[in-house]
Structure 1
Amino acid sequence: MRGVDVVEFRQSLTVPRPRGAVAAAHRAWLSHPRWALAVKGAFAASLAWFVGLVAPEPFAEYPYYAPLGAVLATTSTVVRSVRDSLQSVAAVLVGAIIARAVALLPLPGPLELAVVVGIALLCVSWRIFGEMGNWAVMSAIFVLILGSGDGADYIGSYAGLIVVGAAIGIGVNVLLPPLPLTPSELALGRLRDGLADQVESLASWLENEGPLAPEEWEDRRQQLVPTVERARAAVAQTREASRANVRVRYNGNRHWVDSQTRRAGALGTSADVVDEIVRLLVEWEREGRDDVALGQQLRPEFAGTLQAFAAALRTAVTRDTANEPDRAQKAAEAVDRLDESIKGLRKVVRTARQSSEYDYFVAGALIVKLARGAGALRV
């Protein structure tokens, strides 16, 4: 092989690798919003520190308070950063007032500190402070211990620099607003897969094992709860982050946000349906009951409908179904098959009622739950 050919061959092997590495790094970056948060927080804190250093006296004596406000404002969404900044400044001022007021009393040092902390802790739960009430305690302690000599200057510098730092942090947040679409997408995917896995396991158990083992299936039901809560929290955070967010308006992310909201509602309803089905079966389809929900006659039919439900879960709730006609068609067909399976199950239950002494009321309730799940998946 000639020298030029060798070089070209080596380049053909090595050129794609950086692209793959860059793509992987980009995916990792999007999947871990804390990394971007750390970079923004570090930048805002450094900028606030510089502003504190060049500020006029007495502010320049306490430049380290400006980064506190900057970090506070960059650790949340744009809307929340403004609210949190205002609440924290209010808490800081209240804490400072408490410290200066108690300092006027002739109290010994330990008792003075105890009174200041006690009063500040009573203010922590004030609704006006929201989640920033702890700043009142921090402020009261700082002002009491560090600002005893020049109280007015210290309080003004402390509160003023936090305000300046918070303003810098809010500005950074507005320019580089967080929008954790990828983490919430991953959370929805984990919820979808977790629900489908549990429905498939339930179908397999009914078909092969018969009545449920209450303790085991109660544990399985509880294991899914954190996944549901994390998905709901992630989507709620994304919705909040989309408010006052230029990335939503100008980067075409509004459709993605709306899609996640719809799919989160569908999966939330599906999670409730799965939870209610497991609850009913744990109570009514177990050993030791004479009036079971399904019995040997209905278990195979119900298991088949559960398999159709799991298939609809896996295909109907994905990000791309709204953008790709083929996948949307497959999703719609999966839900149609679930509807047909539910209709067939209804007929089997009617026939079973006519030829049995049981009313199968619980079986009817299970069908209603499945119909609700099918309706939710039509997004």
Structure 2
Amino acid sequence: MGDVRNRWTAPFGWVARVFRIPGEERRSLVQTTKAAAAAVIAWVVATSVLKLPQPFLAPYAAVFLVQATVYRSLRGWAQQVGAVSVGVLLAAGVGHIVPSVTVALGMVVFGGLLIGSWRGFGDSGVWVGVTGMLLISYGSATEPVLLADRLLETALGAAIGAVVNAVVLPPLHGERLRAATSRLASAIADVLDETAALVRGGEPPEAADAVQDRMRDVRSLVAEAEDAIGWTREGRFLNLRGRREAPEAPLENLVSLWPPLAQLIDAVSEAARSEQPFQHPGEHARGVVGDLLEALAEVARSGDPDRLDRCRELVGEIDHLLVTPTDEVSTSIGLGAMALPARRLVQRLHAD
């Protein structure tokens, strides 16, 4: 019953989130509304102002140019107009040479899709073949006036879509950046806490496998964070609202923690699984490393750099243990393997 109720209430929850939080749902609603408005404007201009006959390409192009970022809209306009122009020229050439519509259709689709695969056309490459196909099938490939109309319709619709996207609430992706920052910070903090328990020796060796599984989750979140940074940067480019966006530096700093974090987890896991005592630090040294990892987890969760003072103190204590010839650590290579990535974690968090 619970699953059925959730399916029925999901649309209402989606609408509630549109008004409650500035997230993905609200951006989708805004972009959908803009695409519909761009299509209507393109149709009105093409039919009532320019008096073009059957200007179906104008609203069609307008819808596809309301992209996820302003940059993609402007780039898409150039690519789409270029692709349609090539498709028109291809249809005109084949239509004049080949009398059979069936043969000409096959040649235009084949040649158009082949030409459209050039990466310079991007996602608009398919328009080369589609435009040629439409012109051949409608029998207008040999009529210069109709060919010019198709070009004008496409350029008009694409331009209207790009302008609407750039001027009316141009899309930004700050909420994606904030969500990725929160998820990654929480995941890193959880891994550090679990690793602290593992390094102290309070967990069975099998717990190292669980930490490694958690690290794979962190790696996935790092990839998501890199994607969010890319979308945010692209969304800010040529965007009238771009300066209002939160900086991506905090998330970049969290992403930079991945290499030393992975090295630290590998060192701790190897020491936890080892049956050779000289590879594992003594109890006091493990306690210091555990304290450091827990302090780093607090910094990752809070984002407060002032808490790094305690981390730096613990790093200094680990350095002292490494250079002090005591029975506990003089033969331990495990502490040295943990110390270097732990130091790098402190340094990179401090760089924020």
Provide TM-score, normalisation by structure 2. 0.81
Instruction: Name which of 166, 175, 186 aligns with 1:193.
Output: 186
Deviation at 1:145, TM superposition (A): 2.4
Aligned length: 333
- 8 Å CA contact 2:272, 2:280 repeated in 1: no
Which of 259, 273, 282 aligns to 1:287? It is 273
Q: How does 1:1-379 map to 2 (within 5 A)?
A: 26-32=19-25, 33-57=27-51, 59-62=52-55, 64-106=56-98, 112-148=104-140, 151-176=143-168, 177-207=170-200, 208-211=202-205, 215-249=209-243, 253=244, 256-257=245-246, 260-282=247-269, 284-288=270-274, 290=276, 294-295=280-281, 297=283, 298-316=285-303, 331-351=304-324, 355=328, 358=331, 360=333, 363-378=335-350, 379=352
Q: Secondary structure at the match of 2:50?
A: coil
Q: Percent identity?
A: 26
CA distance in 1, matches of 2:326, 2:126: 63
**1:231 maps to amino acid:** A
Relative to structure 1, the CA distance from residue 44 to residue 198 in structure 2 (aligned partners, 3 Å threshold; closer, same or farther) is same
Q: Structure 1 residues 136 and 196 mapped into 2: Cα distance closer, same or farther (>3 Å)?
A: farther
Separation (CA, whole Å) in 2 of partners of 1:345 and 1:89: 63
CA deviations on 1:118-144 (whole Å, 9 max, x unpaired) are: 323332342322343233233233233
Tell me how large the CA RMSD over aligned residues is.
3.1
How has the CA–CA distance of structure 1 residues 288 and 272 changed in structure 2, closer, same or farther, with 3 Å as cutoff?
A: closer
1:227-270 residue CA offsets vs partner (Å, 9 max, x unmatched)? 22222222222222222222245xxx2xx43xx32112211112
Alpha-carbon distance, 1:200 to partner: 1.6
Three-state SS of the structure 2 residue aligned to 1:88 is helix
SS in 2 for 1:314: helix
Change in CA separation of 1:287 and 1:23 when aligned onto 2, cut-off 3 Å: closer
Q: Is the 8 A contact 1:143 1:151 kept in 2?
A: no
Q: Cα gap change, 1:101/1:287 in structure 2, threshold over 3 Å: closer, same or farther?
A: same
Equivalent residue for 2:12?
none
Structure 1 stretch 208-217 or stretch 40-49: which is displaced more? Answer: 208-217
Residue range with higher mean Cα deviation, 187-196 or 47-56:
47-56
Q: Distance in 2 between matches of 1:135 and 1:221?
A: 44
How many angstroms apart in 2 are the aligned matches of 1:162 and 1:270?
47
- Aligned equivalents of 2:122, 2:40: Cα separation in 1: 27
Distance 1:181 1:233 in 2: 12
Give the unaligned 5+ runs of structure 2: 1-14
